[in-house]
Structure 1
Amino acid sequence: MTTPQDVDALVRDQLPPLAGVSPMGRVAITRPTAEIASSRLGIGFETLDRWMFTPEPVYPHLARLGATWARVQTGWSRCETAEGRYDFEWLDSIVDSLAGAGVRTMFSVTFGNKLYMPDAPHESAVGYVPTYYERALPAWTAYVRALAARYRGRVTHWEVWNEPNIPQFWQPRPVSGADYAELVRVTAEAVRAEIPDATVIGGATSLVDPAFLVGALRAGLAGSIDAFSFHPYQMVPEHNLRNMRDLLRRLLDEHSPDRRIALYQGENGCPSQLSGHHDDWLGMYTMDQVVQAKWIARRFLADLELGFDKIFYFHAVDLMERPYRQAGDKVNAPVMMGLIHGGSYTPKVSFEVARRVCHLFDERTRRTELMCLFTERDPAAPQRATLMAAPHVATFERDGAPLFAYWLAEDPQQRAGHATIDAELWWDDRLAMPEPVLLDLLTGEVYAVERPPELTHTDWRTRGLRYRLPLTDYPLVLTDAAVVAGLGFERREP
């Protein structure tokens, strides 16, 4: 059940106007998703194999969001309800409607079928693995081939299973990396028999599970896949993320020295309320729609900084219209991570925040290392200088201008108050920022930033232009006015 929230009060409390900069307008995006040529950003559209939400009211929102990929579970149990007879019309509607909204589909080919697995406790057979059943395995490969033949030319990316490293989605035997590698092998062969150039994605692991991955790689996983995905859920988005990425990159490269396997952040989300949902295991203590929106902006920016080849937010909408089950027959509480409210299908605060990120960080914005040194020298309070001198930063370029995205990387549930900090910036002379502005990704407000004097060498420690900037616990973006103009910037009269 949705928890009532006074969103206006939450916004006033957590998102006051920024200090030390001058308001000059706000972005009002009008570009549809279909006009974005390409992007690494995607949205979760899973669980329709179990009717967990109604997709039709969501498509108009996705047509505006700007995420150009959607992850869709294919649902063997929904496609084959009588042996050897397939109903793909429900999937046709999803794939075609997503395409009409400007969104490409990535299939997650996953879960079992009670026709061939009589011990599965529920009709959706969530988590039940076909390679463990003599009759199920040939039926599975026949289903996958029929699925691939149906969507040849429409779906290019095929992910095998969901979170095979935890028992909630791997039954009826214990989790095994080697057994998972075998499932991927037979599934990839079936897909490529119909779509030789298909992109096959393995992994989809819950969190980072190096022991599971090594077991799968030693059993030949690398030879079957073109990409590996993982689901690094955590309440502080940046925590240990670089280490996770670097570890996965090393293991994949060691087992595929002659061919680069792409790396996806394949599923990640954050609830918009504290109670009444399935995901209290995340360690929440004060959660609301604004905190969720902060988390989402940080999640996307941290993933973009590390260069994941695709990045998915889970989920487009709250999952609350049918009982939520994993393996077994236990009914779980709803999943309330959506950008859109379940039931009413109205956008949350996070929807517009995600929309700004998707439109600003499409294929025209690329990751570029630029210098950004934060300093806060306070001899009277050296402990404050230590705390404040290291905000998280991610630097990019777009249309000849630098972009500096930065934020205080505390737990967003702390609701840290606004502060200010000195930032010393340098960018290549091929880039220009003649009219520096600050974009608040949470509110869409744009602020004029006083351009500092040109670099002088009176202080030997100075190597770039020094700005005095607001500091928040969510990303602000310093860039040129021409960049925000491309997002539909509406200037206010001075």
Structure 2
Amino acid sequence: MKVRTLSVLIGLTICCVTMGADQGKTYRSISWDKFNASGPELKQIGWVATRHAKDIKSSDWSVGCETLDRDQANFSVYKDYVGELGAKYGRLQSGWAKCEKEKGVYDFAWLDQCVYGLDEQGVEPWMCLCYGNPIYKSSIQLGSSLGPVVNSEEAMAAWLRYVEVTVARYKDVVREWEIWNEPFGQGEDYAVMVLATAELIKKIQPDAVILVTHIRDSDRTIVLDALKAAGKLDLVDYWAYHPYAQNPDASYQWVEKTQRQLASYSPKYKLYQGEVGCPAILEWTHALAHYPWTEYSQAKWNLRRMAGDRVRGIRSSVFTIIDLKYPNMLQSFGLIRSNLLHEFIYKRPTFYAVQHMMSFFDDAVIPVGILDCESTSPRKLTVAGFQKAGTSVALMWYSGEIPSDELAWDNVDVTVKGVAFQDPVYVEMITGKVFELDQNAWNSEGGNTTCTQLPVWDSPMMLVERAQIEFRKEATR
């Protein structure tokens, strides 16, 4: 039986924030109100606590802080929210053209604010070295050609000088360097850039971690073969990928195939999900365009991507912390909603969803893998298994379709193999609500757990021992 619970919104605390540029003006997130007014028909006993990045010892979670090099967002507007989110890493783009506006003269003031600002929040910045520079006849935009850089002696020398100065400046704070961003269809030129840039970085910072950015499959083979031919396979550590798919669970067949290819070249190579997210509205261009996304489906999408990455041990970065004002549009991927003036409007529901995942799933939670399960539902059900302090943790969600806008749960009988509980609770990961499970509604025996009439929907919910949950002290947010 499908359970739909959407209570009256009156009396809910409005999710609102005072805008720095318009003192006293507040905005509410209607979708967040609705999420909080909905839920499975279980007895709520509290909310899961969240943690600031400074209070999390270690995790692999990252959040995107991109496009500041092109002034498409304002770092000072969201700096404090990155730490609040609980991400331990933040992706920045270095902005060659913004740093070197006059040949040989560098101004890093803007980038200093970002690098050291993240560090102040307990967030380790990792740097995407990009894009071109008009003073050397190359473009600053996404999709720009590498040819004007790598095929010009002057421009390539200037690029390497810029890399040298940047790495030397930030090497005490930045350990991980990504070379360019998405140079699709430019395998030969990109191979030249990777070899030269990675060698230079390693010379300046021997313990640096090098990421090859997201490229086409055919380009990746070209770069791999070039590294092998040069005897330089060890220059690279991670291969980034950006899996923009309408169903976030549909990417892992490609992931497994790519992992096999990388392993055939070097056993040390790993994938890094370096940039992906979901719009909050129907976008007319860029990734995941031409689909009627909402703040409801966005929150579910991001949680499913995070759960799928985490259970597979893949480092994962959520795109992006705030809406970006592109030259032709205001993009809606942000965990924070902003306006055309780069001002803070409100935290979207996906901010809280991501915050709950990042707060609980730190490095103390160990992935076990996708677990076998049997259920009475005709829909595809995924169960991701983990261990925390020797106890079982399971994330469960419908994974066969694109996340919907429905705030509705199915009551399902399900048996999960390989997990056992003593005193489990149910956590809805978007709102962070914690619910009691009736003792007669579950049973663990022989290393397996059976639940009857368990509320399930197309977003991850968590079964976990009560003792492993830190409950939020305050009653409202």
Partners of 1:354 and 1:297 in 2: how far apart?
7
Structure in which a larger fraction of residues adopt strand: 2
- CA distance 1:444–1:225, shift in 2 (3 Å): same
Please, which of 232, 236, 247 is the counterpart of residue 236 of structure 1? 247
1:191 aligns with 201
Instruction: Identify which of 403, 411, 427 aligns with 2:402.
Output: 411
Residue type matched to 1:18 in 2? P
Corresponding position of 2:181: 162
Deviations 1:304-355 (A, max 9, x none): 12221x20011110012xxx3xxxxxx4322210101123323111111110
Would the aligned equivalents of 2:38 and 2:407 in 1 still touch at CA under 8 Å? Answer: no
Indicate how the Cα distance of structure 1 residues 219 and 17 shifts in structure 2: closer, same or farther if over 3 A, else same.
same
Q: Per the alignment, do residues 403 and 185 of structure 1 end up closer, same or farther by CA in structure 2, a change over 3 Å counting? A: same
Q: Does structure 1 conserve the Cα–Cα contact (< 8 Å) formed by 2:39 and 2:407?
A: no
Superposed CA RMSD? 2.6
Where does residue 343 of structure 2 map in the other structure?
Answer: 344
Q: Distance in 2 between matches of 1:355 and 1:200?
A: 27
> Contact 1:426 / 1:464 at 8 angstroms: preserved in 2?
yes
Residue of structure 1 equivalent to 2:422: 434
> 2:458 matched to 1:448?
no
1:15 and 1:181, CA in 2 relative to 1: closer, same or farther beyond 3 A?
farther
Determine the C-alpha separation between the residues in 1 that align with 2:196 and 2:371.
47
Q: 1:127 maps to which residue?
A: 144
Matches within 5 A, 1:7-406: 7-8=29-30, 12=34, 16-19=38-41, 21-29=42-50, 31-117=51-137, 120=138, 127-129=144-146, 130-165=149-184, 175-205=185-215, 209-220=216-227, 222-239=233-250, 241-256=251-266, 259-275=267-283, 278-279=285-286, 282-308=288-314, 310-320=315-325, 324=326, 331-342=327-338, 343-345=342-344, 346-369=346-369, 371-376=371-376, 385=377, 387-388=378-379, 390-406=380-396
Aligned residue for 1:57, secondary structure, equals: helix
Distance 1:397 1:455, change over 3 A: closer
Q: Report the Cα offset of residue 434 of structure 1.
A: 2.5
How many percent identity over aligned positions?
28
Change (3 A) 1:286 1:370: closer
- For residues 163 and 51 of structure 1, the distance between their equivalents in structure 2, rounded to whole angstroms, comes to 19
Contact 2:62 2:317 in 1 (8 A): yes
8 A contact 1:184–1:224 mirrored in 2: no
Aligned AA (2:81) = H
Q: Is the 8 A contact 1:78 1:124 kept in 2?
A: no
Tell me how far apart the structure 2 counterparts of residues 317 and 64 of structure 1 sit (CA, whole Å): 14
Change (3 A) 1:483 1:455: closer
CA contact (8 A) 1:359 1:487 kept: no
Q: 1:438 to 1:198 in 2, by over 3 A?
A: same
Residue by residue over 1:133-172, the C-alpha shift from the partner in whole angstroms, topping out at 9 and shown as x without a partner, is 221011111111111111121110000010112xxxxxxx
Structure 1 residue matching 2:91: 3-state secondary structure: strand
Q: Secondary structure at the match of 2:214?
A: strand
Unaligned runs of 5+ in 1: 166-174, 325-330, 377-384, 457-461
SS in 2 for 1:204: coil
Aligned residues: 438
Question: Aligned AA for 2:38?
Answer: P
1:466 equivalent in structure 2: 450
In 1, Cα distance between equivalents of 2:304 and 2:235: 33
Gapped regions of structure 2 (runs ≥ 5):
1-26
Maintained 8 Å contact 1:370/1:426: no
What is the distance in 2 between the residues matched to 1:420 and 1:426?
Answer: 19
Amino acid at match of 1:148: V
Native 8 Å contact 1:113 1:124 kept in 2: no
2:334 is paired with a residue whose SS is coil
Give the SS at the match of 1:394: strand
**Residue 380 of structure 1 corresponds to which residue in structure 2?**
none
Alignment-derived partner of residue 170 in structure 1: none
SS of the equivalent of 1:238 reads helix
Aligned mates of 2:28, 2:46 — CA distance in 1: 25
Distance 1:110 1:479 in 2: 42
CA distance in 2, matches of 1:366, 1:274: 36
> Displacement of 1:261 after TM fit?
1.1
Query: Could you tell me how far 1:470 is from its partner in structure 2?
Result: 0.5
Cα deviation for residue 374 of structure 1 reads 2.6
Is the CA contact 2:49–2:472 (under 8 Å) kept in the aligned structure 1? yes
* Corresponding residue to 1:422 among 392, 408, 413: 413
The CA distance in 1 between the partners of 2:353 and 2:269, in whole Å, is 31
SS in 1 for 2:199: helix
Structure 2: how far apart are the matches of 1:135 and 1:455? 68
One of 476, 482, 493 as aligned partner of 2:467: 482
The equivalent of 2:21 in structure 1 is none
Alignment-mate amino acid for residue 12 of structure 1:
K
SS in 2 for 1:341: strand
Distance between the aligned counterparts of 2:242 and 2:443, measured in 1?
45
Whether the 8 Å CA contact 1:242–1:306 is kept in 2: the answer is: no
8 Å CA contact 1:145, 1:193 repeated in 2? no
The answer to whether the 8 Å contact 1:360/1:487 transfers is no
Q: CA deviation at 1:283?
A: 5.0
Is residue 451–residue 467 contact of structure 1 (8 Å, CA) maintained in 2?
no
Q: Report the secondary structure of 1:374's partner residue.
A: strand
Deviation of 1:6 after TM superposition, in Å, equals: 8.1
The residue identity in structure 2 corresponding to 1:264 is Y
